[in-house]
Homo-oligomer: A and B are copies of this chain.
Amino acid sequence: MMEAKVESKYAKNDYRGLPSTLCQGCGHNSISSQIISACFELGIQPEKVVKFSGIGCSSKSPTYFLNRSFGFNGLHGRMAPLALGTLFADTSLKGIGVSGDGDTASIGMGGFKHLVRRNMPMVYIVENNGVYGLTKGQFSATAEKGLMLKKQGTNPYLPVDIAMEALVSNATFVARSFAGDPRQVKELIKAALSHNGIAVIDIISPCVTFNNQEGTLHSYTWGKDREAPLHEISFIPPRDEIMVEDFEEGSVREVTMHDGSLVLLKKLENDYDPTDRWQALRILEDAQRNNWLITGLLYINPEIPSLIDTYDLPQQPLNRMSQEQLRPGSSVLDEINAMMQ
């Protein structure tokens, strides 16, 4: 389902955005880069893309890629309906949405589930860091159960699994990746851009700043040994983005997070069949039990008509229609008046 690389008349620069104002080392920045690369490699006309986001650090990122694409940085948790409405205006446009885990799985849960259920054709990326970055590190709905954060205490809930939520809402394209695995991220985005339907990509994207589990190694609480946590600290030490080297399908890779905790990335096997929704659910459930983060294209079904397909719309974009097409003639009104007399 991935398109071959095409000869493009655009340079990579044509896909760039403004300089990022996110933290140095934030996973979100690396995802922006891959969106740029994916669009470049597909040779998409930048004007044919529309960007959407909610509110959060993640939702700021559409400013940092595809300057020549329209975009709407909307409301917290409400990206879904905004994108849906816009994409009816000209159905030849590609929608790329970037949301956060708080934005999608906490406040935005309802909108997300219903957008997916409608099979609205667009790419829906969740930059998933388990916290609310922009409001300074509270738990989001994807935070691990038992996670302890300074100020917030212990998280008592099991995390929302965004990929599983998408599957259960009958998504037609579901993938998971890790921000530090740029090649996979890029390939999945390219595949998603080529899919006619909702394409959900849940990307684990570490927050360098607020994964400050109290007392863990490298936590920016400045070392237990010194017994001197910097209270109400506003200091964010510069960090590097976490990157993994390319690794094999089917293998497992350990990744150390900024707070010192370990994450087990597992790439889907080479022969995994992503057209079986049932398998996808099973493998996710499996991964949960094994504490793996399973990455790759989990599910795809290109057969289901997209929402737009069900609407019998003309080729010509609705937003270019003339008064002649939009306002019935006066004889029609005469008929109506007669009918109501």
Interface membership of A10, Cβ < 8 A: no
Residues 251-280 of chain A: 1 if any B CB is under 8 Å from the residue's CB, otherwise 0?
000000000000000000000000001100
A20 / chain B contacts, CB cutoff of 8 Å: none
Q: Is the interface of A mostly helix, strand, loop or mixed?
A: helix
B157-A118 in contact (CB<8A): yes
A168-B170 in contact (CB<8A): no
A310-B117 in contact (CB<8A): no
Per a CB cutoff under 8 Å, which of B114, B158, B160, B282 touches A141?
B114
Instruction: Give Cα distance in the complex from A278 to B282, angstroms.
Output: 8
A158-B117 in contact (CB<8A): yes
Given contacts A281-B285, A310-B156, contact A109 B118 (CB under 8 A): no
Q: For chain A, which range describes its interface: under 10, 10 to 19, 20 to 34, or 35 or more residues? A: 20 to 34
Which residues 92-113 in A have Cβ within 8 Å of B in the complex?
A: 106-111, 113
Interface membership of A161, Cβ < 8 A: yes
Instruction: Give Cα distance in the complex from A109 to B161, angstroms.
Output: 16
A114 / chain B contacts, CB cutoff of 8 Å: 106, 109, 141
Interface membership of A307, Cβ < 8 A: yes
Interface-centre pick from A110, A117, A160 (highest chain B CB count, 10 A): A110
Instruction: Give Cα distance in the complex from A291 to B118, angstroms.
Output: 21
Residues 146-181 of chain A: 1 if any B CB is under 8 Å from the residue's CB, otherwise 0?
000000000011101100110011100000000000
Mark A residues whose CB is within 8 Å of B: 106-111, 113-114, 117-118, 141, 156-158, 160-161, 164-165, 168-170, 277-278, 281-282, 285, 307, 310
Please give 14 more A-B residue pairs, beta carbons under 8 A apart, in addition to A110-B110, A118-B156, A164-B168.
A107-B110, A108-B110, A109-B109, A109-B110, A109-B114, A113-B160, A114-B141, A156-B307, A160-B169, A161-B168, A165-B168, A278-B282, A281-B281, A281-B285
16 pairs, A vs B, C-beta closer than 8 Å: A109-B110, A109-B113, A109-B114, A114-B141, A118-B156, A156-B310, A158-B170, A161-B168, A164-B168, A165-B168, A168-B168, A277-B285, A278-B282, A278-B285, A281-B281, A281-B285
